[in-house]
Amino acid sequence: MNMQNNRNETIATSTEASGPVLGSVSSPDPVPIPVAMGDGIGPEIMEACLYILNEGGARIEPIFVEIGEEVYLSGHTSGITEKTWEILRKHRVFYKAPITTPQGSGYKSLNVTIRKTLGLYANLRPVVSYNPFVPIKHPDMDIVVIRENEEDLYAGIEHQQTPEVVQCLKLISRPGCERIIRFAFEYGRAYGRKRVTCMTKDNIMKLTDGLFHKVFDEVAVEYPDIESEHWLIDIGTAKLADRPDSFDVLVMPNLYGDIVSDMLGQIVGSVGLAPGANIGDDYAMFEAIHGSAPRHAGKGIANPSGLLLAGVMMLNHIGQANAAERIHNAWLKTIEDRVCTYDILRKAREASADDGDYTEVGTVEFAEAVVARLGKKPEYLKPVRYSGRPIMLSKPVLKDVRGKRMELDGVDIFIRSAELSADELGQKLEGAAGEKFRLIMISNRGQKVYPGGYPETFCTDHWRCRFKFIDNAIPGHSGHAGGHAEIRRLLGRIEEDGLEWIKLENLYLMDGKRAYSLGQGE
Ligand code: NAD
């Protein structure tokens, strides 16, 4: 029998200054915790989890808060009321079942809003193999995905620019990178992890993903006791799908981390197994990684395990290590006894395991099975130990780059035109450039189409037109006094030529170095 390398002992991180509920190890009083029952399968699995936590000796006092679908539909486009914000801000630790984001562009994701409003910059998602009880191909898989939680494309800044083109802004900040990457290494060090792997796509997004990779390399040298490596996200994900047991701690920008952790959740048997913690300097939120699975709502069949393990992480976070350990070990014993919900049984059947060994149960029966095993430990899977010692993530002094010298080098002006060809547009803009600017190139969807474009290149109605100050375009010169005024005059000339500019991006030199990407073919 294959034994798993079960090290998901503690996930909690906090600082001692993190609020009234932390450091309550010695307090006999129950800790007030805001609890959201959620939507879809949310109420069923949360009810099961609260029952287990209570029976397992958790000293918590749930304060039920309303968020999600009903709140959205009652007119709060953010899915949360002011009163709930007050409760979350007062109690600082939040236990949340999945919610449904209604379809439609008027509704913002509440999960993203909560993470960003409360500064929950680190998303921890441990994914552990429970082979052979949840049979999978990778018996030794034991990965912690540490996902940046506030930035990237999840800034949600999107605009329709022309009838044909929409845009989503990918925002990556240096402090954002540094905080999450330091968190990953601190986590690795505190929990005896060997290696931290960073994944980005910086061969294409050289500035945004390039910054994440650069900061990773800078921070990694401060942790010589932990191996570090970087993979491009495409081939890295392929390797993860094939050999997940060769990875340890992963750190990545928001979108990649979201996708990769769901993929890994499925590889270990079910997304219903994986917990998540969202941690900031002052607040923490614990939830399953999966959504509200509306198709399964009301059937009483959903797997409460991901939400339960998130609750276990929360107990450790608030200093209740004994209850966390007791509940987690009882859950492992339940898995080991092959008592499972439909999703795990399906996995077992796919792996041609003898399904006669399994007892399929619903959500409530699964909770009862865990409660019946409280006080027991798994025999084959490694029992967990919780220390109740939160990781001290002392707020690091982040590298301050705000004083960098910024010089205006030129401007990218975006123009809408459905009628003009690249050459026709180029000729008009050569005239508009005037004495101060040189038209460097025009690109369409990032591909250079002027000068010297090819007729085969498909063009939309959205043109990026790059102008540089004539002074700066000459090597050896930098900086341009009155640059913004010149750009306004250039825009005026473009308007006079009957062209419609839709937005602009200034081109800067930072400490004398180009701080914008070149167009494909520039
Ligand atoms: P989902 O994760 O809700 O469900 C996808 C599938 O995974 C389900 O059909 C089911 O087969 C399986 N599954 C998920 N949880 C399970 C469980 N506990 N037990 C057994 N099987 C489980 O993803 P979705 O269908 O894309 O999203 C549904 C809704 O959830 C959407 O409105 C989405 O916005 C929301 N969502 C919420 C959160 C959150 O609250 N944290 C996260 C992701 C998605």
Same domain, 295 and 276: yes
Which amino acid, one-letter code, is at 514? R
DSSP string, 463-520: EEEEEEEHHHHSTT----TTHHHHHHHHHHHHHHTT-EEEEEEEEEEETTEE-SPPPB
Is residue 127 included in any domain, yes or no?
no
The residues near 244 (Cβ < 8 Å, ≥ 6 apart) are: 127, 138, 141, 143, 264, 267
- The residue ranges of the chain whose pLDDT is under 50 are 1-26, 392, 474-477
Q: Is the CB of 344 under 6 A from ligand 1?
A: no
Per-residue confidence (pLDDT) for residue 395, from 0 to 100: 73
In testing the pocket of ligand 1, which one of 100, 107, 259, 290 has its CB within 8 Å of the most ligand atoms?
A: 290
Six token digits for residue 288: 């399953």
Q: What is the pTM of this model?
A: 0.87
What is the 269 CA–ligand 1 centroid distance (Å)?
15
> How many angstroms separate the CA atoms of 247 and 193, rounded?
10
Q: Taking a C-beta distance cutoff of 8 angstroms, is the pair 269, 168 a contact?
A: no
Residue 201 falls in the annotated catalytic set:
yes
Is residue 241 included in any domain, yes or no?
yes
Per-residue confidence (pLDDT) for residue 477, from 0 to 100: 46
The CATH code of the domain that includes 468 is 3.30.70.1570
- List the domain range (segments joined by +) for residue 498: 406-514
Atom of ligand 1 nearest to the CA of 291: 3
What is the 305 CA–ligand 1 centroid distance (Å)?
14
The one catalytic residue among 234, 242, 357, 497: 234
The CATH code of the domain that includes 180 is 3.40.718.10
Same domain, 450 and 376: no
Angle subtended at Cα 379 by Cα 377 and Cα 380, rounded to the nearest 5 degrees: 130
Q: Taking a C-beta distance cutoff of 8 angstroms, is the pair 123, 255 a contact?
A: no
Cα–Cα distances (Å) from 414 to 44, 78, 222, 292, 303, in that order, read 51, 32, 42, 40, 50
SS (H, E, C) 204-229: CCCCHHHHHHHHHHHHHCCCCCCEEE
The one catalytic residue among 154, 187, 283, 450: 154
Antiparallel, parallel or unpaired: β 142-148 and 158-160: unpaired
Q: Is the CB of 111 under 6 A from ligand 1?
A: yes
Q: Is the CB of 98 under 6 A from ligand 1?
A: yes
Question: Which residues are 407's β-sheet partners?
Answer: 509
Alpha-helix runs per DSSP H in 5-97: 42-55, 69-73, 82-91
Per-residue confidence (pLDDT) for residue 8, from 0 to 100: 37
Domain end point (choices 318, 353, 386): 386
Six token digits for residue 449: 């189409």
Q: Is the CB of 287 under 6 A from ligand 1?
A: yes
pLDDT tens, 193-217?
999 999 999 999 999 999 999 999 9
| Minimum CA distance residue for ligand 1 atom 40 | 98
Same domain, 382 and 428: no
The overall longest dimension of the chain from CA atoms, in Å, is 83
Q: Which of 389, 391, 386, 395 is nearest to 311 (CA)?
A: 386
Same domain, 108 and 65: yes
Same domain, 364 and 461: no
Residue 154 falls in the annotated catalytic set:
yes
Per-residue confidence (pLDDT) for residue 321, from 0 to 100: 94
Q: Is the CB of 71 under 6 A from ligand 1?
A: no
pLDDT tens, 160-169?
999 999 999 9
Q: What is the number of structural domains in the chain?
A: 3
